[in-house]
């Protein structure tokens, strides 16, 4: 099963984060207006660690972009932003269904993923 040559964009959305933050009645009302960002990996060979690292970086940047409206310096906004990044990345990694990408995501750990993103916000 190879996905190397087909264009399979990932769509990261804040749906998971919004569901966690909204009242249950409103959570089901998410629609096409939910922010999303496509991430292409058709140029990458996901059997190569270097290409997996590139895709991981793309996913991280897309998640930060999609989740940026939740960012803030106060603890509550920072927690929402971090949750959104983690949930968006986990969803994207699952969509790709690449053992090497899944392994990289698990090995990176939440702190390694979030620290650079949060530090940019605090500048």
What pLDDT digit, counting tens, does each position of 62-120 carry?
999 999 888 888 899 888 888 888 888 998 999 999 999 999 999 987 666 665 555 55
Please check the confidence at residue 57 and state whether its pLDDT lies above 60: yes
3-state secondary structure (DSSP) of residue 81: helix
**Residue 83, CA distances (Å) to 7, 14, 38, 58, 118 in order:** 28, 10, 20, 18, 12
Whether 80 maps to a domain, the answer reads yes
Tell me the Ramachandran region of residue 116: left when phi exceeds 0, alpha when psi lies from -120 to 50, beta otherwise: alpha
Number of domains the chain is built from? 1
- Work out the average pLDDT over 22-35: 43
**Residue 44, CA distances (Å) to 19, 31, 62, 85 in order:** 32, 31, 17, 23
Whether 71 maps to a domain, the answer reads yes
Whether 1 maps to a domain, the answer reads no
- Work out the average pLDDT over 13-41: 53
- Residue 20's domain comprises 10-121
Whether 2 maps to a domain, the answer reads no
Q: What percent of the chain has pLDDT over 90?
A: 34
> Cα separation of 44 and 51, whole Å?
5
pTM (two decimals)? 0.68
């Amino acid at each position: 099963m190879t996905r190397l040559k087909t264009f399979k964009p990932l769509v990261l959305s804040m749906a998971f984060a919004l569901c966690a933050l909204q009242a249950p009645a409103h959570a089901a009302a998410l629609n096409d207006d939910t922010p999303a960002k496509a991430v292409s990996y058709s140029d990458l060979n996901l059997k190569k660690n270097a290409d997996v690292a590139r895709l991981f970086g793309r996913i991280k940047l897309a998640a930060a972009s999609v989740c940026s409206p939740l960012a803030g310096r106060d603890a509550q906004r920072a927690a929402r932003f971090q949750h959104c990044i983690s949930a968006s990345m986990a969803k994207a990694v699952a969509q790709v269904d690449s053992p090497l990408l899944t392994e990289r995501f698990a090995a990176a750990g939440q702190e390694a993923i979030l620290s650079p993103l949060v530090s940019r916000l605090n500048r």
